[in-house]
Amino acid sequence: MKYSKNNAQNNNKKNVLAIIIVLILIGLGVYAYISIRGIDTEHQENGGINYDPPSEEERQAGDKQKARISEDNDSKAQNNEDSSSAANNSESKDKQPASVIIVDANQYNDVVEARAFISDYFQKGTCTFTFTQNELVFTKETEAYTDARTTNCRNLSTPVSDFPNAGEWRLVVTYESDNAKGKSDSRALTIK
């Protein structure tokens, strides 16, 4: 019995010694990895962000990017000057085309409501709602405002009494801003 007890104690000592040796080897491996890879623990405290002043290489790269941007802007300015001189010859060349879409145009009780938006241009401007019936024409204007993704015409709400006659009317909405201009397809609405 005494022999087996000593043998069990020796095995426990060997196991503890083996665990200690393995932990030392793992520690040495981590130290060697950090030493070889050159991990910068100073920048790890800042979430990996380097707050040091830029190096000479970083300064040169920034200067090159600034020069490219400046050249691009100069080129665009020259193109704008060329296009603005051509625009003096024809105003339609001055504005980009914009697609105007009428969403709704109906009579609701004693009020006519119309809604439209510009699907492919993003700039504040003016929307003109033009109603026609034979030779009768009248217009109403609303502002065009931008939201997160489109340009919308402020909803038009006008009393039925603004229409000289009942019957079928045609509506066309035009949009104009500093840089764009567009016109919707005609849409029919019936005034009662």
**How far is residue 136's CA from residue 169's CA, in Å, rounded to a whole number?**
9
The 8-class DSSP code of residue 165 comes to S
pLDDT at 61 over 90: no
CATH number at residue 143: 2.60.40.10
Q: Which domain holds residue 29?
A: 2-44
Confidence tier at 16 by pLDDT (50, 70, 90): confident
CB distance 62 to 56 below 8 Å: no
- Structural domain contains residue 39: yes
Contacts with 87 (C-beta within 8 Å, 6 or more apart), sequence order: 93, 94
- Which residue(s) pair with 180 in the sheet? 96
State pLDDT tens for residues 70-95.
Answer: 666 566 555 555 554 444 444 446 89
pLDDT at 170 over 80: yes
Do 37 and 102 belong together in one domain? no
State the alpha helices, DSSP H only, in the chain. Answer: 2-37, 41-44, 56-87
Do 26 and 103 belong together in one domain? no
Confidence tier at 9 by pLDDT (50, 70, 90): confident
CB distance 121 to 177 below 8 Å: yes
Do 104 and 171 belong together in one domain? yes
Tokens of 152: 């919308």
Number of independent structural domains in the chain: 2
Do 103 and 39 belong together in one domain? no
- Structural domain contains residue 74: no
Do 110 and 183 belong together in one domain? yes
What pairing do the DSSP bridges indicate for beta strands 111-118 and 151-153?
Answer: antiparallel
The single residue listed with the structure tokens 């045609």 is 170
Name the phi and psi angles at 166, rounded to 5: -80, 175
What is 111-125 written as a DSSP string?
EEEEEEEESS----E
Do 40 and 100 belong together in one domain? no
Going by C-alpha positions, the residue among 98, 93, 94 that lies closest to residue 152 is 98
Q: For the whole model, what pTM was predicted?
A: 0.53
